[in-house]
Chains A and B, each alone.
Chain A
Amino acid sequence: DSGVTQTPKHLITATGQRVTLRCSPRSGDLSVYWYQQSLDQGLQFLIQYYNGEERAKGNILERFSAQQFPDLHSELNLSSLELGDSALYFCASSKGRGGADTQYFGPGTRLTVL
């Protein structure tokens, strides 16, 4: 158990819908990272937040957005869902701003878009 929690574990929805994935970082960690893992693209970094502020952006689509709240939990919002958005979405957390900080991954949310 990494100490990072993600809900829900599974999510099934239809194209065009919007969903919210939630992540609670390890106690004391200030950074939250979101990753997408699909069969054809592998693990892709989406976005990082540090202490409530966006810190780094990766291959995140405009239909996706995230935020980190004052209690440091984070939400990833996916809208206008397409079939290709079906994937595992992982959240990770680390103590500091990033760099060589160890990132601890949550168990993931499996999103299926029908």
Chain B
Amino acid sequence: GQQLNQSPQSMFIQEGEDVSMNCTSSSIFNTWLWYKQDPGEGPVLLIALYKAGELTSNGRLTAQFGITRKDSFLNISASIPSDVGIYFCAGLEGAQKLVFGQGTRLTINP
């Protein structure tokens, strides 16, 4: 199956800093999704992207669907303590199957 390369694997930042993470694929996806997972919980959808070049915001979060359809990035501005968690990108393979990146673990120092 397809693989998604997500980077960085982990980030240690100060509260208030901006964060950027990205995902790349060797194959094309028609939908990119970004999820956040808190400890002991299931992933929660943050942003969904459906068109190449699309730039979508959700509060302090902004994500873009790369024009090649092989990559996507997620930015978080002015990070706060509740942003701590693991962020996953996912691409929709075919009609139903979600392929996930390995995740970016975000740690924030107050």
Interface-side segment among B18-26, B43-51, B64-72, B77-85: B43-51
Q: B42 contacts which chain A residues (CB < 8 A)? A: 2, 4, 90, 92, 105-108
**CB-based contact A45/B48 at 8 Å:** no
Nearest chain B CB to A32 CB, angstrom units: 12
Interface-side segment among A11-19, A61-69, A93-101: A93-101
**CB-based contact A99/B95 at 8 Å:** yes
* CB nearest to A4 among chain B residues: B42
Q: B102 contacts which chain A residues (CB < 8 A)? A: 42
Residues of B with Cβ closer than 8 Å to A?
A: 1, 31, 35, 40-45, 48, 50, 88, 90, 92, 94-103
Residues of A with Cβ closer than 8 Å to B?
A: 2, 4, 33, 42-45, 48, 55-56, 58-59, 90, 92, 97-100, 102-108
